Amino acid sequence: MSSLKELIVKLSEAPGCPGYEGSISDIIKEEISGHADNVTVDALNNILASKGSGKTVMIAAHMDEIGLLVKHVDSKGFVRFAKLGGISDQLLQGQRVTIFTNKGPVPGVVGCKPIHLMSDHDRKKLVGYDKMFIDIGAGSAEEAGALGMRIGDPIVIDRKVTELKNGLICGKALDDRVGCAILIEVLKRVQPRNRLVAAFTIQEEIGLKGATVSAFAVSPDLGLAVDTGIAADHPEVTEHEGPIKLGHGPAILAADGRRDSLSGGLVCGTAIRDWLIKLAEEKGIPYQLEVFEGGTTDATVMQLSRSGVPTGVVSVPSRYIHTFSEVVAMEDVENVVKLITAVVEADLPV
């Protein structure tokens, strides 16, 4: 059985673009085997693992990661791509990638015009992803086709996990493989007081899709998303812009949504938020309260499922989110496991 850190490394390094989460769901199904009363996989590839009986707590973590998709292969074998999820174009130049074809993985590199050949004016501008391409070393479209390359094949950035000082780990897709690892760990460790449904969801990054249909199927009494949240305790961000810090414990969400209005997000009811705070305090788990402008999680659609579900979010603070080198503290991950364990072992506030 993998340790929590080994599990995070395995999940982080595996490929799983939105719509192509099969490698991730294979790892999860193997890890949770024997640790749930019932495991189902729905038509969209969401995994629903239930354990215990009574009122239903649905806890969601998404399996997908930001990535790319083959859009076009030109006559010289160069690949143009679309983006799947929120990726800043300036991260892409020079990235090594793997394209997953029906004949197996094909390595490539993201190329663009070298700065040496740019005008002084163009050098100062950001290069858009539409000015980039993937070089797989093929000399023609036919050669690319012979490798199995087809329009729509998923492309994942290659990145191993590395460890930084003080228990920090750095890797791709920690958003939200860390959440998946936490849910797996809770299934392994805990006998729930109520009925736990651990939902490993698909396509969160492109519209919260897996959680939408899973919440309908599960019809929970209480919902929770476990995801990564923005830690910005680093240069070039003022404290009020990004107050969440690595190593200071789980972030309990008060509200999130679009910048300026928080529309399209979640306002967590005080009943759920205060209950999470009470559980953290009873167990001596450090925590941070969060208002996040600029995004949302699976919790938003869980809250709006059927006639409404009281829903909250617990986040693992993460620096450099939606880059391919996200950084989390193992201490925070362990504390989120403890808080989610407390949730699953507690009487519900609903």
Specify the residue, 18 or 77, whose C-beta has the smaller distance to Zn ion: 18
Specify the residue, 318 or 335, whose C-beta has the smaller distance to Zn ion: 318
- Give, for 100, the enclosing helix (H) or strand (E): strand 96-101
Specify the residue, 105 or 242, whose C-beta has the smaller distance to Zn ion: 242
- Give, for 314, the enclosing helix (H) or strand (E): strand 311-318
User: 217: which 2 tokens?
Assistant: 């199927």
Smallest gap from residue 108 Cβ to Zn ion (A): 25
User: 15: which 2 tokens?
Assistant: 């490929």
- The count of chain residues that interact with Zn ion, using the rule CB under 5 A, is 3
Distance, CA of 109 to CA of 238 (rounded, Å)? 35
Contact letters (x/-) for Zn ion, 201-230, by CB under 5 A?
--------------------------x---
Q: Which of 176, 185, 256, 326 binds Zn ion (CB under 5 A)?
A: 176
Candidates 104-112, 168-176, 206-214, 311-319 — which segment interacts with Zn ion by CB under 5 A?
Answer: 168-176
Smallest gap from residue 115 Cβ to Zn ion (A): 33
Candidates 67-75, 124-132, 144-152, 176-184 — which segment interacts with Zn ion by CB under 5 A?
Answer: 176-184
Specify the residue, 17 or 106, whose C-beta has the smaller distance to Zn ion: 17
Per-residue DSSP letter, 216 = H
Specify the residue, 227 or 332, whose C-beta has the smaller distance to Zn ion: 227
Write the single-letter amino acid at 325. S
* Distance, first Cα to last Cα, the chain: 35
Distance, CA of 324 to CA of 234 (rounded, Å)? 17
Q: Does 298 bind Zn ion (CB under 5 A)?
A: no
Q: Which of 31, 65, 185, 204 is catalytic?
A: 204
Smallest gap from residue 175 Cβ to Zn ion (A): 4
Smallest gap from residue 293 Cβ to Zn ion (A): 16
Residues 6+ apart with CB under 8 A from 15: 23, 65, 67, 98, 100, 154, 156
Distance, CA of 87 to CA of 109 (rounded, Å)? 17
> Three-state DSSP class for 23?
helix
- Does the active-site annotation cover 205? no
Contact letters (x/-) for Zn ion, 227-246, by CB under 5 A?
x-------------------
Smallest gap from residue 50 Cβ to Zn ion (A): 23
Smallest gap from residue 45 Cβ to Zn ion (A): 17
Candidates 22-30, 69-77, 171-179, 244-252 — which segment interacts with Zn ion by CB under 5 A?
Answer: 171-179
Give 99's strand partners: 106, 155
Smallest gap from residue 298 Cβ to Zn ion (A): 8
| Other CB atoms within 10 A of residue 99 CB | 25
Specify the residue, 57 or 60, whose C-beta has the smaller distance to Zn ion: 60
Task: Please state the φ and ψ torsions of residue 186, each to the nearest 5 degrees.
Answer: -65, -40
DSSP E strand boundaries for the chain: 38-41, 47-51, 56-62, 67-73, 79-84, 96-101, 104-111, 133-135, 154-157, 162-163, 168-171, 195-201, 222-230, 251-257, 288-293, 311-318, 326-329
Q: Which of 64, 65, 175, 326 binds Zn ion (CB under 5 A)?
A: 175
Specify the residue, 185 or 227, whose C-beta has the smaller distance to Zn ion: 227
CA-to-CA separations, 98 to 17, 156, 194, 280, in angstroms, rounded: 11, 5, 42, 41
Pair type for strands 195-201 and 104-111 = unpaired
Which residues lie near Zn ion (CB under 5 A)? 175-176, 227
Tell me the catalytic residues: 204
